[in-house]
Amino acid sequence: MSLAVCPGSFDPITNGHLSVIKRAAKLFDEVIVVVMVNYKKPHGCFTVEERVSLITKCVEDIPNVKVDAYGGLLADYTKMKKADAVIKGLRAVSDFEVEFQQALINKKLNPDVETVFVTAGAEYMYLSSSVVKQVCELGGDVSEFIPEIIYNDVVNRIKERMTNQ
């Protein structure tokens, strides 16, 4: 059984993330999407529990995908799960430098795991969670950027956060 881990902040999950997850699910027997709790950005827009729940709704119909959260090192998580690969999505050359460095460090920390880079669909090249939040906060339409099944949850949460600020 091959196992891949898809790590990220997913604050919130976008169609770009989902496209990467679907590709991973075709390449590996099992995929775990893991919300990494970033100690540098402890307060995202969505709580970790909310992010896990949003992702879970989006992958409900993909039987070999599970969702989890982790607050430590990705290398320790991959060791614990005995994963074969880490899947990272690349948008543009700008992603490459950071991802390349992370892949090399992760390889050093856990030599048993390979980092596999995939692209999302070309239509999502420009998409990030930050773009979704910014457009939504300024009243723009984000329906093309996030899965339909979580559209209301995401928009309501971002608006609620705006009014409480």
Which residue blocks in 3-150 are alpha helix, DSSP H? 15-27, 48-59, 74-81, 93-109, 129-137
Q: CA–CA separation, 47 vs 144, rounded Å?
A: 23
Give the type of residue at 107.
K
* Closest CB 9 distance from ligand ADP, rounded Å: 4
Stretch that binds ligand ADP, among 55-63, 75-83, 119-127, 156-164 (CB under 6 A): 119-127
Stretch that binds ligand ADP, among 6-14, 23-31, 50-58, 136-144 (CB under 6 A): 6-14
Find out whether 79 and 112 touch, Cβ atoms under 8 Å: yes
78 binds ligand ADP (CB under 6 A): no
88 binds ligand ADP (CB under 6 A): yes
* Closest CB 119 distance from ligand ADP, rounded Å: 6
Residue 119 gets the label, from left (phi > 0), alpha (psi -120 to 50) or beta, of beta
16 binds ligand ADP (CB under 6 A): yes
Report helix, strand or coil for 86. strand
Q: CA–CA separation, 48 vs 51, rounded Å?
A: 5
89 binds ligand ADP (CB under 6 A): yes
Per the residue annotation, which of 79, 81, 91, 161 is the catalytic one? 91
Q: Where do contacts with ligand ADP occur on this chain (CB under 6 A)?
A: 8-10, 14, 16-17, 20, 88-89, 91, 95, 120, 124, 127-129
